[in-house]
Amino acid sequence: MITLTARSKLGPLMRTLRQRSGLSLNQVAARTHLSRSAISKREHARPGYVAALVDHFHALGYDVALVPTRGVGRQTGTGWPG
C-alpha cells in the first residue's frame, strides 16, 4: 500500500508503478481507453487537482492510499517506489 500526501509526485509515481508492473504506455492507454499521448502527459503532469483532493481528505482526517490490484501487470514489492 502506498499512502499519498499532498506533496506526492503523482506523475512520476504513475510512471514508476506502470514500469514496475511491466506495462507499456500503449498497454495502459488501451486499458484506460485513452491515447498513449494522454497517458504520457499524465505521467509528466504537475500534481494540481489530485494533490488538492488529497490535502482535503487529510484535513478531514483521512489518508488516501493506493492498494495493488491482483492480476494487473506484475506486482513487485510494497511501499513507496523508488
Domain enclosing residue 13, as ranges: 2-66
Return the percentage of the chain with pLDDT > 90, whole number: 28
pTM, to two decimals = 0.68
Whether residue 81 lies inside any domain: the answer is: no
Whether residue 33 lies inside any domain: the answer is: yes
Whether residue 71 lies inside any domain: the answer is: no
- CA distances (Å), origin 6, targets 3, 25, 51: 10, 25, 5
Residue 68 has which C-alpha cell?
495493488
Task: In whole angstroms, give the CA distance from residue 58 to residue 36.
Answer: 32
User: Coil, helix or strand for 66?
Assistant: strand
pLDDT number for residue 47: 67
Confidence of residue 59 (pLDDT cuts 50, 70, 90): confident
Whether residue 72 lies inside any domain: the answer is: no
Identify whether the C-beta of residue 64 lies closer than 8 Å to the C-beta of residue 18: no
CATH number of the domain within which 62 lies? 1.10.260
pLDDT tens, position by position, 6-42: 667 788 888 999 999 999 999 999 999 999 999 998 8
